[in-house]
Amino acid sequence: MKVLSIQSAVAYGHVGNSAAVFPLQRIGVEVLPVYTVNFSNHTGYGAWRGPMIAADDVRDVILGIEERGAFPQIDVVLTGYQGGAGIAEVIVDAVRRVKEANPAAVYSCDPVMGNAKSGCFVAPEIPELLRERVVPVADIITPNQFELGYLTRTEPADLESTLASVDLARAMGPSTVLVTSVERPDREPGTVEMLAVDDAGAWIVRTPQLPIKANGSGDVTAGLFTAHYQATKDAALALERTASSIFDLIELTLDSGERELKIVEAQEFYAHPRLQFTATRVR
């Protein structure tokens, strides 16, 4: 499998491509990373250095990849944090050209905007561009519950309302939706869930909720789920593998006492998921 991954990059720590690339490589995926920003560290620190990469420069890098004849071999276009507002059109154009070269290719969009605790942390134009231009051309999207609500102009809370919001998101264009953090009020205390929905049904998996803010874990989740889903075409199995790997990654990070994800140290959890969590069919 070959993935064109258009995301942010940081030198210190792990978010965006700096989080997603190595886990994908560790499960045997060839990744072509294209950066939308090149920061010293993620913005959660409140201070960072380095450039936001201009849309024309991102387009130029993608053009160079196309000129090497790579597009017919690309199976997945994966995107995350977009940086500047102009990146949306670059992504839409890249997806179109990849699919022209390989009609079997899919586009997986992690519509990064923010979360329920922090609110939106992207440029003000980005959420609307995601909703109106980017998500409609995606095959797979991997929002958290907050982002799902913004995309669909709803307020998903319990399982029923979250499924209804997913249906609205699927009506926008994507056939497969992974909701990466479902925090319904009636869930078992101390747990968090992920929900995957495609044409075959809907499945939910529950894991313990660990007391850590794991920046970058959503980027790893989007990458691993996309790769497992493309390899198996089985949403439940992809969900189980992803939940297992992500839980072990976050637990290892928590045990280390450090803030940044232990991406490299957790590599065996990607290559050989323990499958300690079972996905339950909910529709």
pLDDT tens digit sequence for 243-273: 999 999 999 999 999 999 999 999 999 999 9
Domain count, the chain: 1
CATH number of residue 43's parent domain: 3.40.1190.20
Instruction: Name beta bridge partners: 52.
Output: 37
Is pTM, for the whole model, over 0.85? yes
| Angle, CA 118 vertex, CA 10 and CA 17 arms, to 5° | 20
The residue range of the domain holding 219 is 2-281
The token pair at 9 is 């990059």
Angle between helical axes of 217-232 and 17-26 (0-180°, round to 10): 40
- CA separation, residue 159 to residues 166, 183, 194, 202 (Å): 10, 9, 11, 11
pLDDT in tens, 160-190: 999 999 999 999 999 999 999 998 888 889 9
- Which pLDDT score, from 0 to 100, does residue 115 have? 66
- Which pLDDT score, from 0 to 100, does residue 83 have? 77
Mean pLDDT, 10 residues at a time, the chain of 283 residues:
97 97 98 97 94 96 98 97 87 98 98 70 78 95 94 94 97 97 89 97 96 94 98 98 98 97 98 97 95
- Which pLDDT score, from 0 to 100, does residue 85 have? 81
- Contacts (Cβ under 8 Å, ≥6 apart) of 213: 44
